[in-house]
A = this chain, B = another copy of it.
Amino acid sequence: MTKMNIMKNLIVQKYGGSSVADPDRIKNVAKRVIRYKQEGHSLVIVVSALGDTTDELLDLVGQITENPQDRELDMLLATGEQISVALLAMAIHSLGHEAISFTGAQVGIVTDASHTKARILDINSKRIEKELAKNKIVIVAGFQGVNLNQDITTLGRGGSDLTAVALAKALRAPICEIYTDVDGVYTADPRIVPNARKLERISYEEMLEMASLGSQVMQARSIEVAKKFNVTIHVRSSFHNQEGTLISEEVSSMEEVLVSGVSLNKKEAKVTVCDVPDKPGVAAKIFGDIANADVNVDMIVQNVSRTGQTDISFTVDSTELKKAIKAVEKVARGVKAGQVVSDEDIAKVSIVGVGMRSHTGVAAKMFEVLASKKINIEMISTSEIKISILIRKAHAEEAVRALHDAFELGKNKK
């Protein structure tokens, strides 16, 4: 094959940990890969660590130290993907096809030196191109790279998706397939909304909002990179052959759609700092200290002040609530604010859609729907293509179903 033909027929496929959880699943992945090969495609396969490998390794770490060095953590965790790629290469080979496995370092995935959350600087794809030209299936360890000092780095959560997208960009692959244990991106969680519909297409922007709203399908970072370099992603299941959801640039047909999906996150908690002096710099001080405590804040609301004092509320991931309260109570005393109150009985419901950009009244409709169900809205936060609200946890599913119905998401729009 000429180099041009190789790249034209190239597919980058990424298989997550659940897709390669045990030898039988690895063999299934091998069969799928070979089917594509037999259809005439060149293939670069990115693999995550086997199911629970990472947890097992972290368990060993926990028995040795509470504060592992980031460089050594990367050295350790990178072995997970190295195991997967070798086993997948063996499985493909045992079925009579040529495959060759590589670590991130071996295929020149060069990153900065930020261990455990490195950023890819460059990919030297020569070795991959050489092996593709020999008609081999190339298997690359996800999640890892190497810095300029030859130290092994890892890319942080969802890093294997990032590896796949970056390789698709470097190799100019027409498509990057992300295989996972869900069928694609849905208008809402099918466990809550029985008539939730799998989306055929979604824009990068919408998918980014979905990711930040708690959708586990893909991490925000790899979608950002795909958007930047216009890499078309196909999210699909590794357990059957049905099409999943394409993530790409907005196309004209998308504009017809007002709202693409409703999402729900029940894993946040609300923190309120009462009686905060309404002076410049106070909010900056509070959220600066929270950030220094390594707590990620999601929604922030500050009421209009009429008395020289105001209440500031924000949400954090429930798992970080204790850490957040500790940091906030300290800074609250420092800025002479009042009590700090927390509330875990909340749910965040969001609607997402690029159509909101050009349509007014979406927020009004959302609030009406909830009012008609007598669901009280406690906080609101909006972006150009998203509206999130905070309500009592008990009303979460009802709100999602009502919004899904009201925006007619169950109906096929094509």
Residues of A within 8 A of B (CB): 22-24, 26-27, 57, 60-61, 63-69, 71-73, 75-76, 78-79, 82-83, 85-87, 89-91, 93-94, 100-101, 103, 105-106, 127, 150-152
List B contacts of A87 (CB < 8 A).
Answer: 60-61, 64, 72, 76
Q: Is the CB of A63 within 8 A of B93?
A: no
| CA of A76 to CA of B87, assembled, Å | 7
Tell me how far the C-beta of A1 lies from the nearest C-beta in chain B, rounded to whole angstroms. 22
Complex: how many Å from CA A151 to CA B83? Answer: 15
A86–B72 contact, CB under 8 A?
A: yes
Asked whether B91 lies within 8 Å of A64 as measured between CB atoms, the reply is yes
From A67, A73, A86, name the one whose CB has the most chain B CB atoms within 10 angstroms.
A86
> CA of A57 to CA of B90 in the docked complex: distance in angstroms?
13
A85 to B69, CA, bound (A): 13
Report yes or no: B61 in contact with A90, Cβ–Cβ below 8 A. yes
Given A64-B27, A64-B90, A65-B90, verify A101-B78 contact (CB < 8 Å): no
User: In the complex, what residues of B have CB within 8 A of residue A66's CB?
Assistant: 94
Given the known A-B contacts A69-B89, A76-B83, A86-B73, are A64 and B101 also in contact in the complex, defined by CB atoms under 8 Å? Answer: no
Contact A23 B60 (CB under 8 A): yes
Contact A82/B76 with A23-B63, A64-B23, A94-B67 known, Cβ cut-off 8 Å: yes
Q: Which B residues are in CB contact (< 8 Å) with A103? A: 75, 152
In the complex the two chains form, what is the Cα distance from A78 to B27 in whole Å? 22
Q: Whole-angstrom distance between the alpha carbons of A331 and B92 in the complex?
A: 36
Q: Which residues on B sit within 8 Å (CB–CB) of A72?
A: 86-87, 89-90, 93, 101
The answer to whether B71 and A100 touch across the interface, beta carbons within 8 angstroms, is yes
| A94, B65: Cβ atoms closer than 8 Å | yes
Given A69-B90, A73-B90, A79-B82, 16 new contacts (CB under 8 A): A22-B63, A23-B63, A23-B64, A61-B90, A64-B87, A65-B90, A65-B94, A67-B94, A69-B89, A69-B93, A75-B89, A76-B87, A76-B90, A79-B79, A103-B152, A105-B105
Complex alpha-carbon distance, A75 and B152, angstroms? 15
Q: Which residues on B sit within 8 Å (CB–CB) of A57?
A: 83
Nearest 6 CB-CB pairings of A with B: A65-B94, A23-B63, A76-B86, A79-B79, A75-B86, A72-B86
**A66→B22 CA distance, assembly (Å):** 17
A85 touches B89 (CB 8 A): no
Out of B23, B82, B93, which one reaches A75, CB within 8 Å? B82
Contacts of A22 in B (CB 8 A): 63
Bound complex: CA A67 to CA B22 (Å): 18
Q: Is the CB of A83 within 8 A of B89?
A: no
* CB–CB A82/B89 < 8 A: no
Closest residue on chain B to residue A65 by CB atoms: B94
Write out the residue numbers on chain B whose beta carbons fall within 8 Å of the beta carbon of A93: 65, 68-69, 72
Minimal beta-carbon separation of A12 from chain B (angstroms):
20
